[in-house]
């Protein structure tokens, strides 16, 4: 398992299979050159963009089974259950996302999803995910959706 971070992280790792890589990559595509799956169990999210990037690149992505992340990851076994609550907190206010939910992923469910990915061929999921992303995020389709939304709301 490769854990990437941009900042210094004080993690004690007693497993020779886990590598921590602290690096600021010049090319975003380098994020996806190594590894077979992105693990993105977002705790505080209101948009889901962190999940969208690997999904759009065709990288099978493990995330929480909470909106909006579960809207991007269609494979139910890659969406992990969460402990769910909504509250006014420092984190919500700092993030500036009033509708954001705090969703802690279940460690057991997250572990099972990672183990499943390590034991199975992800090629079909990767191809399907990339095809779905190309369809959903096609420039003409997005332009039309934005135009319809702006007309509906009279922007």
Q: Report whether 103 contacts 63 (CB < 8 A).
A: no
Cα–Cα distance between 141 and 144 in angstroms, integer? Answer: 5
The overall average pLDDT reported for the chain is 82
Taking residues 50-63, what's their average pLDDT? 88
49 or 96, greater pLDDT: 49
Average pLDDT for 136-141:
86
The full set of domain ranges for the chain reads: 36-152
- Mean pLDDT of the 64-74 span: 83
Q: What is the pLDDT of residue 79?
A: 92
- DSSP helix, strand, coil percent of the chain (3-state; round to 5): 45, 20, 40
Closest CA to 60 of 114, 129, 120: 129
pLDDT at 48: 63
Entry pTM? 0.75
């Amino acid at each position: 398992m490769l854990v990437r971070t941009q900042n210094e992280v004080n993690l004690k790792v007693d497993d020779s299979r886990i590598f921590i890589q602290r690096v600021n990559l010049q090319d975003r595509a380098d994020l996806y050159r190594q590894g077979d799956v992105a693990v993105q169990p977002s705790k505080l999210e209101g948009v889901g963009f962190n999940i969208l990037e690997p999904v759009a690149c065709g990288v099978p992505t493990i995330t929480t089974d909470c909106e909006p992340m579960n809207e991007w990851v269609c494979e139910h076994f890659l969406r992990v259950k969460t402990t769910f609550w909504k509250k006014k907190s420092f984190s919500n206010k700092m993030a500036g996302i009033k509708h954001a939910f705090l969703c802690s992923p279940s460690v057991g469910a997250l572990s099972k999803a990672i183990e499943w990915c390590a034991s199975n061929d992800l090629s079909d999921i990767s191809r399907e995910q990339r095809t779905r992303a190309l369809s959903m995020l096609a420039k003409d389709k997005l332009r039309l959706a934005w135009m319809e939304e702006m007309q509906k709301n009279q922007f």
